[in-house]
Structure 1
């Protein structure tokens, strides 16, 4: 095995000879996608201030490795260990928001949801040959060779617990309802709304329309790529921004996206990069035009006025977050003018409960479980919920 790229990190047989702090508990953070990185960024501050804990990041390798993930993690200042090195070590805690690679690492695994809701909104996988229904909490996702992989599974809602009980009941005693750390952080950041609008250079009296698209041909951008141009044509008094799922950027590349949106960018469209500010852009929005992705669900859970550009009705799991949102807000008729339809956009009253049934306590509950798995007493200070970062639209 080629070990030439291995790092002299804080874990391993010879680590004590190079450590500044000794007796550290090592936390391996699995980052399979930029989406996972964003999710984990909402949670990892629970370790802030604790000199006993050392996070180390790694990006699982394989046929489905996503372009740009490791570059993104390094840009955050994370200590990145090669995957081949990380799987040969024992970790005090492993934290992951995705399934990929979790059977190869060694340590107490804390699983977090990948997006809004622990259960997937799609009825079928994106894999081309998939015909079976999938939920994300299935036995096939949580076990390997008959062994339950996570030591603890954080769930946002009681409905997710019921889903787990149905799909993998042997893992139920490892689950806990924590709420949603991303939603809690968004709610705590609402007091900074004017700062997020200022960062986007949106005047106080000017409405901001935000288009949110997940990935796949069923998404808002997949089905209606000209929607941003239409918004600028038909509502020139508004500002417009677009949030595209990180996997769109990873698959197609920034240059291609810039080319696709060039006409709209030239007329003032704000393009929010996947790693810099989608949450702040949601908080700044007056109306969100979205689809079945998690970003639209978070907008609705925040109480924003939402309308759907598409809803992928034929591939939504009944009772999922996206299915409940589809039944709560209007959908655009793309044959009609947009302005009167956007005026009818409404808040999905009570929808927040579909995303989290334990609001305001997610960081506290995740931290309690993480420290139990680490075998450490929790710090005496409260778990931190910092504000989401200011949005930084691309300078195009």
Structure 2
């Protein structure tokens, strides 16, 4: 894509196959990005098509309540977007999306991509449920998969066989288009684990120091929603020389409240050298590098079961979590942080109590096809595009080296 084209610019060449295009007769794939979180998961998918000269990938930012930051995130990747309204009117060979809002209006077959560590949160909009009908997570619910009485997506990809088993109950009409492909985050974390010491050095973790990573999903029951209870422990109960702390906050928190506001609330952390990882940053390297992970019912805590870190949980909303999800299983095993004891003592206690393989069966719930996401996902895409796959296996890149924690802790956020 040419230099000097800003995000949001209408660029007709991205939509229309003009006779002057350098690379012609391409299959055209539309990537629909609703939120930064969805964009991060979709990056694992559209990257499988990136080097194929037979395919032109086009991007659009779809309307969403948590859509703030999407244009900036895509621009940071060198991506030019077309307006959503223009994308709705155009013809494509395939569309990729991790969200459901508005995609039924597209004039193209759609592939729905699961995101997160399993399907954790149960459907919140229960108005359309029949009396006595059990709630399912969004990507497994008829409300998110069926429009005007018909299954919308041409393909729906899941991480685990148990998702398809749940789909049999919740939306059996979607079974013919369901595919189990695994989880790209599981595969990338697994590939990155041998580089743990490199990640620690890149983050600036010195010999003898321990890294505490605090993870938070979004919503009032999240760690961030209750940060006033945990923050005093982080700021005052960990000896500064021996511990480094990084906060991994869900991008929806930044999108919902605004980056300035989030950093303003965390100004005390910044002053004490606690790093807040930007919402667009790759979160996997800090997770791999952690000695302890303090987290809630969100995906990052569940992904922590793949690492060497000792896990501690903050209290979560049990009734809003799917009982078969990795988050629910983890909540039954991991110790819970208490305000009645010093945080350093609780970290040490959790380390002593951890048993080898304690969370192995939780980690196994993240993917029933470990190491196979990129191969299986590419096969689904090329089959729908009616193209032969490239004659080489898809690469599974490890997470990139992160910047030093000091860079995230001292980032210029406009907060005094």
Same fold (TM over 0.5): yes
Q: Distance in 1 between matches of 2:295 and 2:42?
A: 23
Q: Which of residues 382, 394, 397 in structure 2 aligns to 1:371?
A: 382
SS class of match (1:300):
helix
Q: Distance in 2 between matches of 1:36 and 1:246?
A: 10
Equivalent positions of 1:172-187 (< 5 A) are 172-187=175-190
Equivalent positions of 1:289-300 (< 5 A) are 289-300=294-305
Cα 1:129/1:218, change in 2 over 3 Å: farther
SS class of match (1:185):
helix
The reply on whether 1:50 has 2:52 as its aligned counterpart is yes
Q: Distance in 2 between matches of 1:171 and 1:129?
A: 21
Cα 1:116/1:151, change in 2 over 3 Å: same
CA deviations over 1:72-127 (Å, ceiling 9, x no partner): 1122111211100101111111111111222111222111112111x3x22342x6
TM-score (norm 2): 0.88
- Structure 1 unaligned residues grouped into runs of 5+: none
**Which residue number in structure 1 is paired with residue 397 of structure 2?**
386
**Which residue number in structure 1 is paired with residue 238 of structure 2?**
235
SS class of match (2:30):
strand
The reply on whether 1:197 has 2:200 as its aligned counterpart is yes
SS class of match (1:383):
coil
TM-score (norm 1): 0.92
SS class of match (1:211):
strand
Q: Distance in 2 between matches of 1:68 and 1:128?
A: 29
**Which residue number in structure 1 is paired with residue 18 of structure 2?**
16
CA deviations over 1:39-69 (Å, ceiling 9, x no partner): 112222212421111111111136x362221
**Which residue number in structure 1 is paired with residue 166 of structure 2?**
163
CA deviations over 1:360-393 (Å, ceiling 9, x no partner): 0011000001000111000001112112233345
Equivalent positions of 1:23-42 (< 5 A) are 23-42=25-44
**Which residue number in structure 2 is paired with residue 213 of structure 1?**
216
Cα 1:302/1:158, change in 2 over 3 Å: farther
Native 8 Å contact 1:228 1:240 kept in 2: no
**Which residue number in structure 2 is paired with residue 82 of structure 1?**
83
Cα 1:90/1:204, change in 2 over 3 Å: farther
The reply on whether 1:335 has 2:343 as its aligned counterpart is no
Q: Distance in 2 between matches of 1:36 and 1:104?
A: 19
Q: Distance in 1 between matches of 2:127 and 2:71?
A: 29
Native 8 Å contact 2:111 2:153 kept in 1: yes
**Which residue number in structure 2 is paired with residue 355 of structure 1?**
366
C-alpha root-mean-square deviation of aligned residues, in Å?
2.1
Native 8 Å contact 2:96 2:113 kept in 1: yes
Native 8 Å contact 1:292 1:311 kept in 2: yes
SS class of match (1:340):
helix
Native 8 Å contact 1:290 1:310 kept in 2: no
Cα 1:213/1:350, change in 2 over 3 Å: same
The reply on whether 1:149 has 2:152 as its aligned counterpart is yes
Cα 1:328/1:303, change in 2 over 3 Å: farther
